[in-house]
Each structure stands twice: as C-alpha cells, then as structure tokens.
Structure 1
Amino acid sequence: MSVSIKNSVRATFRAKLSRLSPRLFLQIGCILGAFAVVIYLQIPQLATIKHQRKSMDKAALQREEAKAKVRLSIAKKMPTFGYNNLVANWYFLDFIQYFGDTEVRRKAGYASAMEYFDAILANDPRFLYGYFYLSSTGSIYAGAPERSVEIMNRGLKSLSPKVPERGYYIWRLKAVDELLFLGDVPAARNSMQNAANWASQNADPEAQNVAQLSQNTANYLARNPNSKQAQFDAWNMVLNAAVDDFVAQRAIAGIRSTGGKVTISPTGELKVEPPAKD
C-alpha cells in the first residue's frame, strides 16, 4: 500500500477515534492509573517474556495461544461485582496489545481474538467501537465471520435504535460479514434493512445518510442477490472502518474486484468510485 493511502487511512482512523465517548476515555484513564505502578515495576520481566515469546517456534506459540484461549474462556465466567464496563475496557486494552504484537500473531495466529470480543461485548454490549474491531478481526484475521455474527447478534439484543448512539452501524457491520464472508444474502439484506430502520429513527444528518445508504443496499440485494453495487458498498464500509493498513488494503482489493476504483486525490485523500450500475 502506498504511503499516501496509509496516511489517508490513518487520518480516517484518528477522526473515528476522536469521536469516541469521553466516558470511555475516563474509564480507560482509571484503569491505566490503577495499573501504572504495577506495570512500571514489571517492565524488566515483561521485556524478558516478550523476548522469549518472539524467540519461540511456531508450535510453541500456538500452544501458548491455546492456553490463552482457555484462560479467557474461564475469565468470562468470573464475577465483575458490577464493574462490567471497566472489565470490558480492560479486556479491550489487553486485546489491543495482543493484536498489535504482529510478529507473534504472524506465527501463532488469532485463535484467541474471538474470545476477547466475547468477553468485551458480553460485559459492555453498548461499546460501539468494539464492534468495528470485531468485524475486521473476526472475518479477515481470525477467519471466523460466523462467530463474529453470533457475537453481534447477542449484543444487538441489548441495544435499541438510539442506544448506543450510532448503534445502527452494528447492523451494517453484521451485513458486511454476512454478505462478503458468509455469502448469506438474505441475512445481509435483512441486516441492512434493520440498519436503515434504526438510522431513520435518528434525526441527525449522519443517521439520515446512513439510513439512505443502507436502504439502497438492501434494495440492491432484493433486486439482484449478486449485486456488484451491494458488494462495493460493503467493501467501502470495510475500508472506512479499517483498523489498520492490512484491512484497508484488503478492502481496496475488494472494491476493485467489483469494478469500483480507488485513487488518491491531489490532497492525499482516498477517492472511491462505484462500479457501473447493475
């Protein structure tokens, strides 16, 4: 991927990050403060462990990954004493560290990723940003779109058209997984229709725009289950929600496979053009 595309993706990522709830940052700050001293005291040991992990062979790392998966499964059953949101944020911070260790992930894979999101979103189903990571990680990295959809379905049962704010995006993310990675067109169409219904119940311009886009995609799929326009819309959403350069590159390839175009404007921004109408 070119430097210009990377910079554009990162600018979009920073813009999305700036819109996160102040409550989340406050909670994360509390967690970081609570653990700062412990982490400081453990830095030498952590550095040694990290070096040892990177020097382990693939089989050993995969065994460690399996153990981590079991630990997460057990941890999900532990009591939270009413601090569900803080626990969810702690799991998310732990996941970011897990996800960011690309050298280890390249050898060991992402088998524990879905256990993280199971724990994160079970404790805080309103954590909107977690669903963006869930969709990309589950479908593209972990190769488990069916598990991603399962976790989203569970979370959606605790949500409503206005809670959390912009929660209609979760239906769109689910539709993307169903359409592009599971090939379940009826389910994708239903999810897009629900996204349109939820978004239409919010009066702000962003919600109204999402309502129209989602309705259009649902209509495309109703008329033509193999609609290139619907696939383009889905890949374009993957690009807009990309959590890193690898996902963005995969999305750009997907857009181009539909006949769409991705170019870089003179200002360094991505310019995306749809394919010819079906």
Structure 2
Amino acid sequence: MLDMSYLLSLTKLLTPVLALVCTGGITTLQLTKITEIQAQTEVTKPTTVYLLEAEQEKANLAFIKNLPSFGFDNLVADWTFLRFLQYFGEKDARQQIGYALTPKYFEIFVDRDPKFTQPYKFMSPATSIFAGRPDQSVTLTEKGLKSLSPEISPDAYSLWVSKASDELLFLGDNQAARSSYLKAAQWARDSADPEAKRIGAIVTKTAEFLKDNPDSKNARISAWLMVLNSAPDEETRQRSISEIQALGGQVSVTEQNILKIQFPEED
C-alpha cells in the first residue's frame, strides 16, 4: 500500500517545478505564435502603445528576475533570451522608443546561466551599441567571465574580446581594453576552438597597437573588426563597416565573399 504522506510530500515538491516547466513551454509557444503573426502583419503602432507595452515588459522582467527557479536556472535564462530576441526583433517599436530594456534581459541571463556563451554575442552589442550602455555591458560580461574558463567553454575568450571592444570604443579606457585583449589572447591559446588561434593573433596585435600608441586608429579598426566578425544582425555589421571607413580603413569583399580590411598607412 502506498504511503499517502509520501505522495503528498512528493506532490508539494513537484508542483512548483512542473508549473515552471509548463510556464516555459507555454511562453515558448506564445512567442512562436507572436512571431508568426508579426511576420504576416506589418502594422506600425502609435508610440503610446509601444510605451505601454514597454512598461508591461519592464514589469514582466522584474517578476522574472525574482522568480524562484527550483534548480532550473537554465530554463529561466533560455526563457529570458527568447523574450529578448522577441523584443530586439520588433523593429518598429525599437525605432520609435529605443532599446532601453536590453540590459535588464542581459542581467537576468547572466545571473541565471552565465556559462552559456552564445547569448552574450547578441546581448553585449545590443546593450553597448543599441541601448547605449557599454558600462553595463562591461559589468555584466565581467560578471559572467567569473564563471567561465577556456576549459568550461572553448569560445569564452570571445567575451574578453567583446569587453575590450566596449572599453576601447565606447568607454575610452584604453588600458583596461589592452588588459582585456591580453586576457583574450591568453584564453585563446588555451582554447580548443578552431577560431581561437586566428582571433588570438588579432587581439595580440591590437594590444601591441595600444601599448605603442594609446590613441591608435588601427587598434580601433581592429576592435570594430571584432564587432563585425561577431555581429548577429545586419544593422550592427553596417555600423561596424561605417566606423572602420570613418577611421580610414578600406573594406572590400573578395570573390569568395570574404570581407577584407586594409588599415590606413598612418596610424
């Protein structure tokens, strides 16, 4: 005969977990449906509507930030990243009211699942370039790096590159950027990632540029090149190319459809 007290205890334990899992599944289905609807109907809403939606999403993020995970932090992180992609992809809304909520998504993600490196490549440039908060991008990336190593994640060196780019291009902290580039090169040497050797050589050269000339245009071009190489969206890529050209670099495309950067003769 089954022990009823045991069944009741088990039910109490599993109920919140099942609720969280079901919520995550329902949310994913809702996001998928919303994306399908948006793809079919391109209707620009009034700014006031977008502002109201942003306030509602801000409240949602505050709730998610304090949501108990019951050991499923990665599920909450994935859920948050899906919401971020939905938010970032609403171009009409972003053009009208901006990207101010981006750091909030990034913060929840880093708190919940800092060892999952791929979302950083979306959230870091979105925070620094589009939301205009490179300081928060640096802080959150640095926090995530405390949980990472080349052994845990072979591409973790790319986070040091991203941090260095923010420090150099937006914060004007060249020495901090040089330190981050050197750390990126060190992690790249210890990484099994096939791209690590190539990126490691570039960031080492960039660190040398900064050592010899703190105001080096070549260092800034190299930084934008790193942003360009890792950019998840066309808008960031075009911004990177424009910045490289403004610094005197020349951008061309080879017959193999590979971008080629020529640095200016005078640094």
TM-score of the superposition, structure 1-length normalised? 0.79
Q: Write out aligned runs for 1:248-263 (5 A).
A: 248-263=237-252
Q: Secondary structure at the match of 1:149?
A: helix
Q: CA RMSD in A?
A: 3.0
CA-CA distance at 1:38 after TM superposition: 5.6
- 1:145 alignment partner AA: P
CA deviations on 1:159-203 (whole Å, 9 max, x unpaired) are 123222210000000000110111111111111111111112235
**Alignment CA distance shift 1:89-1:33 (3 Å):** closer
Of the three residues 137, 140, 143, the one matched with 1:148 is 137
Give a deviation string over 1:13-41, Cα, whole Å, max 9, x none: xxxxxxxxxxxxxxxxx99993389649x
Is 1:241 the counterpart of 2:233? The answer is: no
Are 1:114 and 2:99 counterparts?
A: no
Name the SS of the counterpart of 1:275 in structure 2: coil
Q: Which residue of 1 aligns with 2:218?
A: 229
Decide whether aligned partners of structure 1 residues 246 and 31 sit closer, same or farther in structure 2, where only a CA change above 3 A counts.
farther
Secondary structure at the counterpart of residue 128 of structure 1: coil
8 A contact 1:66–1:111 mirrored in 2: no
CA spacing shift, 1:187–1:38, aligned 2, 3 Å: closer
Shift in Å, 1:153? 1.1
Distance of 1:260 and 1:35 partners within structure 2: 48
Picking from 87, 93, 117, the partner of 1:104 is: 93
Amino acid at match of 2:25: A
CA distances 1:204-232 after superposition (whole Å, capped 9, x unpaired): 55322222222211121111111111111
Q: How far has the Cα of 1:154 moved from its partner?
A: 0.9
5+ residue gaps, structure 2, are 1-20
- Matched residue type, 2:184: A
Unaligned runs of 5+ in 1: 1-29
Higher RCO (CA 8 Å, separation ≥ 6 residues): 1
Change in 2 beyond 3 A, CA 1:267/1:212: closer
Asked whether the equivalents of residues 164 and 178 of structure 2 are also in contact (C-alpha less than 8 Å), the reply is: yes
In 2: Cα distance, 1:37 partner to 1:234 partner: 35
User: Is 1:93 aligned with 2:79?
Assistant: no
State how far apart, in whole Å, the 2-side matches of 1:173 and 1:43 are: 33
**TM alignment of 1:55-74, pairs within 5 A:** 55=45, 57-74=46-63
Residue among 29, 32, 35 paired with 2:26: 35
SS in 2 for 1:263: strand
SS in 2 for 1:259: coil
Question: Which of the two has higher C-alpha Rg?
Answer: 2
- Overall identity of the aligned pairs, in %: 40
Q: For 2:244 and 2:37, how far apart are their aligned partners in 1?
A: 41
Tell me the matched-pair count.
245
- Could you tell me which amino acid in structure 2 is paired with residue 121 of structure 1? V
Q: Structure 1 residues 201, 243: CA separation in 2 closer, same or farther (over 3 Å shift)?
A: same
Mapped partners of 2:22, 2:254: distance in 1: 41
